[in-house]
Structure 1
Amino acid sequence: MSTATFIDVILAIILPPLGVFLKFGCQVEFWICLVLTLLGYLPGILYALYVILR
């Protein structure tokens, strides 16, 4: 795991859409993560970690 990935994972735990945004920009992954985070914090974290680490 590189340092950039480690920072993305930490940001995904603290603020999930930010971690996804830094990795992908304003693509579909960011919007899905934003909606999931608004619906519930845990689904947003899980999706962000899945997207970043896959």
Structure 2
Amino acid sequence: MGVVAAVFLIVITLFLPPLGVWAVAGCGADLFINICLTLLGYIPGHVHAFYIEYVYYDRREQAREGRYPAGPAPGVYSDRVQTGGRSYGTIVQPTR
């Protein structure tokens, strides 16, 4: 079902980039930025939306494999996207 949801999200993002960002990041700074970029031009809104979705799914896969990113992704302001949809309480952070 994860693949079907990802493909559906991509189709939604092709037509309405802010809707795709909202589905992944929720209502916050990333959504506001994407709405502004979409109003400035349709292409920048798409680039930002697909970047947000890429970071979300990449972080989700890394967490599933037990790997943890070294730092936050640049230009992403949503904690939900930064953690791949998982809260900090459910991911065991590596100790150094």
| TM-score class normalised by the smaller sequence | 0.7 to 0.9
Task: Give how far 1:4 is off.
Answer: 1.4
Q: Give the share of equivalent positions with the same residue, in percent.
A: 37
Instruction: Measure, in 2, the Cα distance between the counterparts of 1:11 and 1:3.
Output: 12
C-alpha RMSD over aligned residues: 1.3
Alignment partner, residue 45 of structure 2: 44
Structure 1 or 2: more helix by fraction: 1
Bigger RCO of structures 1 and 2 (CA < 8 A, at least 6 apart): 1
Unaligned runs of 5+ in 2: 56-96
Instruction: Measure, in 2, the Cα distance between the counterparts of 1:52 and 1:37.
Output: 16
Unaligned runs of 5+ in 1: none
What's the TM-score, normalizing by structure 2?
0.52
Answer yes or no: is 1:10 the counterpart of 2:16: no
> How many pairs does the alignment contain?
54
Give every structure 1 segment of 4 or more consecutive aligned residues whose post-TM-superposition deviation is greater than 6 Å: none
Instruction: Measure, in 2, the Cα distance between the counterparts of 1:25 and 1:44.
Output: 16
